[in-house]
Amino acid sequence: MSADVPNQRAINPEAAALGRVAVLFGGRSAEREVSLNSGGMVLAALRRCGVDAHAFDPQTQDLRQLAEGGFDRAFIALHGRYGEDGTIQGALELMGIPYTGSGVLASALAMDKWRTKLLWQSVGIPTAPFEMLHAESDFSAVAERLGLPLMVKPASEGSSIGMSKVHRAEDLAAAYAQAASYDRSVIAEAFIDGIELTVGILGDAPLPAIRLQTPHDFYDYDAKYRSNDTHYHLPCGLEAMDEENIQMQALEAFLALDCNGWGRVDLMVDVEGNTYFLEVNTAPGMTDHSLVPMAARYMGLEFDDLCFTILQLASLKSSASSSTQESAHVG
C-alpha cells in the first residue's frame, strides 16, 4: 500500500472487506492521555489505508452506540483499566464484534502482574522475585528478603504509573502508599541489575528485541512518553543467537497467558545473562515513542501497514479453537 497513492488506498479491496471499524481509545483509566495519542495515530493510519474507521471513546460515548453502530470490527487502542483488562473485550464478545489483541482471560491475566507471575512460575518461565505488599506488611523484612533496591508497583496499572524504585527500606512504606493510591493490589519486585529489553509480538512471530536505556532511575512514565534522552537500541546489541533465544522465550511467555493477535513482552537480562520476564502488554502504545511500531519499522513494516495488519488479525476469541491453548503449553 503506497502512501503516495491515496486513491488506491481508498478503493483497496482488502480495506473494504474489513467493513466499518471502530477505533476505541481514550477511556477512563489513568493512561487516558497515552491512549488518546495512540488511538489518534491508529485512526489516521487506518483511514490512510482506506479503512472505514471511526473514533469511539468509551468515556464519552455509550457502549450501546457501539452495539448499534453497525461496526464489523474494533481496533482496541485503550490502555489500562476497562480497556486492557478484559472488560471491553468481554463487552465486544457479547456484541459479536471481532476485536484486536487478546481475549478476556488473557487480557485480565496480563493486566494483573501478580497473577501473571504466579502463572509464569507454575510453568517454569523465569520472573523477578516478588512479594505482595499490604498496609500491615513488615516493610523492613520485605526489603531484607528481596534486597535493595527494589521496585514497587500497582499490580494492575501500566505505563509505570504509580511505580517507584526504592533504595532504602525506610522509603518502602511511602512507595507502597503511592502505588496503593492507584490499585488495592501492590507488588514489590526485586530490582534486576542488567539490561532492559522489550519484544513485540505480531501474529505468531516475535519482532526484533529493543534495548532500552534511560538516564532516569528507571524506565518511568516520563522516560516512556516525554523524555528525549531515552535511547532505544535497535538492533539490541546481543549476539544473534542470544537474541533469537530471547525472542522465542518472549513468545512462550506471551502464549502461556493465552495471549494472541499482538502485544509486547518486557524483560530484564542480568549481568550474568539470566533472563527475567516482567510483564506482557496486550494493547501496547502506538505513539511516536512506542516500541512495537519501532520494531516493526526496523523489519520494513511501516506504521500504516502495521495498524492494518493488526486490524486484519481481529477476531472473536470465544469461538477460537483450542489450538492456542495447546501451543501455549510449556514443558
225 is catalytic: yes
159 is catalytic: yes
- CATH 3.30.1490.20 range(s) for the chain read 129-190
39 is catalytic: no
Q: Does residue 122 carry a pLDDT above 50? A: yes
State the SS3 of 192-212.
CCEEEEEEEEECCEEEEEEEE
User: DSSP assignment, residue 28?
Assistant: S
Give CATH for domain 129-190. 3.30.1490.20
Q: Are strands 130-133 and 262-270 parallel, antiparallel or unpaired?
A: unpaired
Q: Which residue, 328, 283, 290, 278, is CA-closest to 129?
A: 278
Q: Which one is catalytic: 225, 252, 290, 304?
A: 225
Q: Which one is catalytic: 102, 112, 285, 290?
A: 285
- Residue 166 and residue 236: Cα distance in Å, rounded? 27
| Domain 194-327: top CATH class | alpha beta
Give per-residue pLDDT as tens, 62-72.
Answer: 999 999 999 99
The answer to whether 211 and 232 have CB atoms below 8 angstroms apart is yes
> Band of the pLDDT at 160, cuts 50, 70, 90?
low
> Band of the pLDDT at 8, cuts 50, 70, 90?
very low
Secondary structure class of 135 (helix, strand, coil) = coil
Q: What is the mean pLDDT of residues 98-121?
A: 96
31 is catalytic: yes
- CATH 3.40.50.20 range(s) for the chain read 6-101
69 is catalytic: no
Q: Which one is catalytic: 9, 26, 27, 31?
A: 31
Give CATH for domain 6-101. 3.40.50.20
State the amino acid at position 120 in one-letter form: W
Q: Which residue, 167, 122, 131, is CA-closest to 148?
A: 167
Beta bridge partners of 194: 270
pTM: 0.86
Give the pLDDT score at 327.
38
Where do runs of H (alpha helix) occur along 49-134?
Answer: 63-68, 87-95, 104-111, 113-122
- CATH 3.30.470.20 range(s) for the chain read 194-327
